[in-house]
Structure 1
Amino acid sequence: MFSRLWLWLGRLISRIVIVLVALGLAGWAIGALFFHFEHQGPVSADEVIAPTEAADTRAIITDAIAVIEQHRDNTRVLRDAHAKAHGCVRAQVRVRDDIPSSLRHGVFSEPGREWNAWMRLSNGNAYPQFDRINDARGMAIKLLDVPGDKLTRDPRHASEQDFVMFNHPVFFVRDVAEYRSNFAAQAEGKKVLAFLPSLDPRSWELRHLFIALKTLSPAPQSPVATVYSSVAPFKLGPHNIKYRVAPAPEQCPAYQLPEQNRDLPNFLRSALYQQLSLDRVPACFVLQVQQQNTEHYMPIEDTSIEWSETVSAFETIADVQVMAQDFDSPGQNLDCDNLSFNPWHALPEHRPIGGINRLRKAVYESISAYRLERNGVR
């Protein structure tokens, strides 16, 4: 009797599972079709500013200041994101000799031109947690002694050109309004509400939740062993583009990084130190751009959408080399912490575009000024 009951329960449960799987697949297929038909070209090549953007930006700045106060250590106010650096290192950016003439704008206008730069490599979290914890990873590059008027009015950055990237091609919010609600929930420690703000399924951002989960990825072998993307779009002269920096080990001496102890809290810094300072081997990258094709769904104002490489392939316009060097000194680490990176430290030919970049201008400038003032930096 009991055996028959168990067999009956087994058949019932298996049928329920089959039905649920079928419903799930059907829902996924319907959702994929809806997404495909909703997100088709053509798209605008111009920016569109939402009427609530200014108010949303002010609210985000308030929340960001609250976050950095929550995560400050005993002596210093840290960044509201990418608080933990693996190192600030000297680099050189060389414009390709064969750069297409249509892409010769701004700092890339002169083939063969070399720029000295600082590169900051970091974890994404606002708290300096262990490297083995899943997280986003960031790369910021600051070109030095760049002539010409800049978009920023701050004289401290009058000779700089910054590029700010992280290791995922898309962002987990589409625009400033969504970022406000998402960030507010996270600032209050309510991470679930960031993507599921109410019981109404229409308010759920499941696709963006999946993007966030993908962004919080395991640490790479080394900070110089992963691809970094601008996520948001920029101008390159008359073109709308996105940037990408990808490892190019074939341009450097052959090197095999020794196995790192991933249980150490700062093993990514150790990996960088091993290669650059102990083994004296440089790290090489290529800097690439992807042009917007407005006939396809490559929007300016939605940073959760990846621009198709099938439609528009990345083109290499410069080479980046991080030379062998000693970088892990208390003085240089403090200078690194005081560096301010902002995509608006830029020539007009590289103007950031889109809502998330407009948000960055206000937030980065406000947070940087607040942080440096609290840390006694003039």
Structure 2
Amino acid sequence: MISTFKKDLPPLARIWLWLGRLLGKTLLLLLAIGLLGWAVAWAWFAWQHRGPVSALEQIPPGESAMTQEVIQTAVRIVDQHREPTRYLRDAHAKAHGCVKAQVLVLPQLAQSLQQGVFSEPGKTWQALIRLSNGNAYPQFDSIRDARGMAIKLLDVPGNPLLDNRQQQHEQDFVMFSHPNFFVSDVAEYRQNVAAQADGKKVMAFVPGWDPRTWQVRHLFIALATLSPAPDSPTRTTYFSVSPYKFGESNAKFRVTPDPDNCPAYTLPRQNQDLPNFLRSALNQQLSTDRVPACFLLQIQRQDANKYMPIEDTSIEWREQDSAFETVARITVPPQDFDTPQQNLDCDNLSFNPWFGIEAHRPIGGINRLRKAVYEAVSDYRHQRNGG
């Protein structure tokens, strides 16, 4: 019956039917090839990224020279994005505000978690917190971006890690709103940031025609990092991304909202068309409505028998391999923070994971890079800003 129907069709219709069948078969073949390629890539990735891993740092050759190149590029970015009256950070240039906070070490903290600034259960640290967007240039808050939180504990006893900070007794934790980074190491960071500084964003992840150099997985991490804006900076989870010493262990940090330990609060809907609505949301809660914000400060300890590498910040340490453990509670009390003088002080304030003590020494390639780049860029900014 069907074959008789086909014979009755004009020649042009039969051609279109044949082309339709050919296109359908081709699409099915491409889908099968795609699924097979995905399965092979997943299997290869799983095979390459399996434990155990080293619990010690492993510094690759040439890292120092690459670091100097990154510093030059970072300074170039600062020059590119300078405003008429001031030089901005090379990242996280736009602050939503710097606020005062208290960090309470859990009174019943387990003995194994009593390390460094968490060694005294029940102790309350005074702290400053800077909340920010991730971009190197101030832009509308509604634009997809990473969001940052930097915490500075004050009056921390012990010997500071940096020789030129011996009078600054502090412990900084620097975090942003995604659990892993879009580069693995210093070599990739050098290539990525140079491409972006040259305005060639595509080349940041596709540096050439050779598919072996393409960083497709890292591109997807970058796209996931650039997320829509939250309702407020107080409603975001922040991650250290890179690892630190935690006593004799290695760990990453996380800060997550803890509304159960603060008064119930419903933030009035903000006008997200305004360029600085995240600052407005923070101001609404802390200054207008006088409602505190609460967070949990948590650590995730490395299990070297799992794939939890130190030197590759593109790898997320999975919670099923090592759960986050709460070590402290953070309270941001009601306060008036949005004044010209406080905003200027906030802009001049430096945060650096190397501002701290040995018990929380930053480790891994990206942290070694930060040590040099943060210091160089901070010095460059402050010299030109006259402070």
Fold match (TM-score > 0.5): yes
CA distance in 1 between counterparts of 2:348 and 2:20 reads 63
Maintained 8 Å contact 2:103/2:127:
yes
Alpha-carbon distance, 1:17 to partner = 2.3
CA distance in 2 between counterparts of 1:267 and 1:15 reads 51
Q: Which is worse superposed, 72-81 or 17-26?
A: 17-26
The residue aligned with 1:308 is 318
Offset from partner CA, 1:62-93 (integer Å, 9 cap, x none): 00000011001111000000000000011110
Which blocks of at least 5 consecutive residues in structure 2 are unaligned?
1-9
The answer on 1:137 being equivalent to 2:137 is no
Q: Which amino acid aligns with 1:56?
A: M
Equivalent of residue 182 in structure 1, options 186, 192, 195? 192
Secondary structure of the residue that 2:148 maps to in structure 1? Answer: strand
Maintained 8 Å contact 1:165/1:231:
yes
Max Rg structure: 2
CA distance in 1 between counterparts of 2:289 and 2:166 reads 35
Maintained 8 Å contact 1:41/1:296:
yes
CA distance in 1 between counterparts of 2:302 and 2:141 reads 35
Alignment of 1:48-67 (within 5 A): 48-67=58-77
Maintained 8 Å contact 2:159/2:166:
no
Alpha-carbon distance, 1:157 to partner = 6.0
Equivalent of residue 263 in structure 1, options 261, 273, 277? 273
The residue aligned with 1:153 is 163
The residue aligned with 2:256 is 246
Secondary structure of the residue that 2:98 maps to in structure 1? Answer: strand
The answer on 1:276 being equivalent to 2:286 is yes
CA distance in 2 between counterparts of 1:310 and 1:115 reads 31
Equivalent of residue 319 in structure 1, options 325, 329, 338? 329
Alpha-carbon distance, 1:15 to partner = 2.6
Maintained 8 Å contact 1:282/1:321:
yes
CA distance in 1 between counterparts of 2:114 and 2:296 reads 16
Equivalent of residue 165 in structure 1, options 175, 198, 201? 175
Q: Which is worse superposed, 295-304 or 144-153?
A: 144-153
Equivalent of residue 209 in structure 2, options 194, 199, 205? 199
The residue aligned with 2:89 is 79
Maintained 8 Å contact 1:196/1:204:
yes
Alignment of 1:358-373 (within 5 A): 358-373=368-383
Alpha-carbon distance, 1:251 to partner = 0.5
Alpha-carbon distance, 1:99 to partner = 1.2
CA distance in 1 between counterparts of 2:37 and 2:275 reads 42
Equivalent of residue 359 in structure 2, options 339, 344, 349? 349
Offset from partner CA, 1:288-345 (integer Å, 9 cap, x none): 0011001111000000001111111000000001111111101000000000000000
Q: Which amino acid aligns with 1:72?
A: R
CA distance in 1 between counterparts of 2:26 and 2:80 reads 47
Maintained 8 Å contact 2:165/2:355:
no
RMSD over aligned CA atoms reads 1.1
CA distance in 2 between counterparts of 1:328 and 1:172 reads 33
Q: Which amino acid aligns with 2:23?
A: I
Q: Which amino acid aligns with 1:288?
A: Q
Offset from partner CA, 1:99-158 (integer Å, 9 cap, x none): 111121111110000011100000000000111111110000001111211002234862
The residue aligned with 1:331 is 341
CA distance in 2 between counterparts of 1:218 and 1:15 reads 39
CA distance in 2 between counterparts of 1:337 and 1:4 reads 72
CA distance in 1 between counterparts of 2:110 and 2:241 reads 23
CA distance in 2 between counterparts of 1:317 and 1:240 reads 15
CA distance in 2 between counterparts of 1:156 and 1:330 reads 30
Alpha-carbon distance, 1:3 to partner = 4.3
Secondary structure of the residue that 1:154 maps to in structure 2? Answer: helix
Q: TM-score when scaled to structure 1?
A: 0.98
CA distance in 2 between counterparts of 1:267 and 1:6 reads 55
Maintained 8 Å contact 2:295/2:329:
yes
Alpha-carbon distance, 1:25 to partner = 1.3
Q: Which amino acid aligns with 2:54?
A: S
CA distance in 1 between counterparts of 2:145 and 2:255 reads 19
Alpha-carbon distance, 1:5 to partner = 4.2
The residue aligned with 1:298 is 308
The residue aligned with 1:26 is 36
Maintained 8 Å contact 2:160/2:166:
no
Q: Which amino acid aligns with 1:185?
A: A
Secondary structure of the residue that 1:87 maps to in structure 2? Answer: strand
Secondary structure of the residue that 2:235 maps to in structure 1? Answer: coil
CA distance in 2 between counterparts of 1:10 and 1:221 reads 48
Residues matched between the structures, number: 377
| Paired-residue identity, % | 65
Q: Which amino acid aligns with 1:76?
A: R
Q: Which amino acid aligns with 1:51?
A: P
CA distance in 2 between counterparts of 1:143 and 1:4 reads 77
Alignment of 1:78-97 (within 5 A): 78-97=88-107
Q: TM-score when scaled to structure 2?
A: 0.95
CA distance in 2 between counterparts of 1:116 and 1:8 reads 75
Secondary structure of the residue that 1:365 maps to in structure 2? Answer: helix
The answer on 1:221 being equivalent to 2:245 is no
The residue aligned with 1:70 is 80
CA distance in 2 between counterparts of 1:8 and 1:320 reads 68
Which blocks of at least 5 consecutive residues in structure 1 are unaligned?
none
